[in-house]
């Protein structure tokens, strides 16, 4: 597979396959010191993925109600190489058992792919996420509320991540809004990592982290 085909769903499928492999007695022990687990799962996931229905290759939290029931899938287009490999490494006794293994893997994978977005967006930190100082924090809507309607209309982001926030000290928060418009924040800087990739934010961060506006963790400062 070329890199462009590697979607988050493909990665989740491959991870589900790796977990199923690890759960097999003997397989994990034998492979502990090699890349065999990665090699096997990369190969098998790439073999099987193109044979899966598009609806199985694209589930998300938003589309969770449209994903077909795994038990109702025929899986009869699964390449023979999948069963052959599972049989040769002792995971399945016959092609039916191999398809059963695949069905369980798909069920794990769909559960992961349709899980709600991570809770990090609502988790309060004790340090500013830009300058890392332990100071009073404000919350910054990574996708500013003023542009939520436009974001949904244009399909820039799914509803589920609209309320992602970052905890920023007031000075850092102000800088973020100074260097970027709400629309630009929503489209190009909707994670802390993206903000930290900006050169101006990096320069600010270097500066701010040296300022004594607050107490750094573990230091006792003047009253």
Find all residues with CB under 8 Å of 71, minimum gap 6, and list them.
103
Give the nearest distance from C-beta 179 to Zn ion in angstroms.
Answer: 12
Q: Of the candidates 154, 96, 133, which has an alpha carbon nearest to the alpha carbon of residue 212?
A: 133
Torsion sign across C-alpha atoms 201, 204, 210, 211: negative
Query: Both tokens of residue 160?
Result: 């589920």
Binding to Zn ion in span 119-158, by CB under 5 A: 128, 130-131, 140
What Cα–Cα distance (Å) separates residue 124 from each residue in 78, 166, 171, 190? 45, 8, 18, 17
CB-nearer residue toward Zn ion: 47 or 134:
134
> Does residue 48 interact with Zn ion by CB under 5 A?
no
CB-nearer residue toward Zn ion: 7 or 211:
211
> Does residue 172 interact with Zn ion by CB under 5 A?
yes
**Angle made by CA atoms 148, 172, 196, in degrees to the nearest 5:** 75
CB-nearer residue toward Zn ion: 55 or 181:
181
Give the nearest distance from C-beta 48 to Zn ion in angstroms.
Answer: 44
CB-nearer residue toward Zn ion: 98 or 166:
166
Give the nearest distance from C-beta 22 to Zn ion in angstroms.
Answer: 41
DSSP lists the bridge partners of residue 140 as 166
Give the nearest distance from C-beta 199 to Zn ion in angstroms.
Answer: 17
CB-nearer residue toward Zn ion: 76 or 123:
123
Considering only residues 56, 75, 143, 169, which one is a binding residue for Zn ion as defined by CB under 5 A?
169
> Does residue 166 interact with Zn ion by CB under 5 A?
no
What Cα–Cα distance (Å) separates residue 137 from each residue in 21, 165, 197, 205, 217? 44, 12, 21, 15, 14
CB-nearer residue toward Zn ion: 12 or 128:
128
Q: Residues binding Zn ion: what is the number (CB under 5 A)?
A: 6
> Does residue 17 interact with Zn ion by CB under 5 A?
no
- The label of the residue with tokens 């609209």 reads 162
Q: For binding to Zn ion (CB under 5 A), which residues are involved?
A: 128, 130-131, 140, 169, 172
């Amino acid at each position: 597979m070329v890199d462009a085909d590697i979607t988050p769903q493909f990665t989740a499928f491959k991870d589900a396959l790796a977990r199923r492999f690890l759960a097999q007695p003997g397989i994990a022990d034998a492979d502990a010191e090699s890349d065999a687990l990665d090699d096997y799962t990369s190969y098998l996931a790439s073999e099987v993925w193109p044979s899966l229905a598009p609806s199985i290759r694209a589930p998300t939290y938003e589309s969770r109600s449209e994903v077909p029931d795994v038990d109702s899938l025929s899986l009869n287009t699964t390449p023979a190489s999948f069963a052959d490999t599972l049989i040769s490494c002792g995971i399945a006794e016959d092609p039916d058992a191999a398809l059963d293994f695949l069905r369980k893997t798909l069920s794990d994978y769909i559960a992961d792919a349709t899980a709600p977005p991570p809770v990090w967006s609502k988790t309060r930190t004790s340090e500013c996420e830009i300058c890392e100082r332990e100071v009073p924090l404000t919350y910054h809507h990574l996708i500013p509320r003023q542009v939520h309607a436009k974001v949904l209309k244009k399909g820039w982001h799914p509803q589920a991540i609209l309320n992602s926030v970052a905890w920023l000290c007031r000075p850092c928060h102000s800088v973020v809004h100074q260097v970027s418009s709400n629309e630009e924040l929503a489209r190009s800087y909707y994670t802390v990592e993206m903000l930290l990739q900006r050169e101006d934010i990096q320069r600010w961060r270097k500066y701010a982290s040296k300022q004594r506006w607050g107490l750094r963790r573990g230091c006792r400062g003047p009253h």
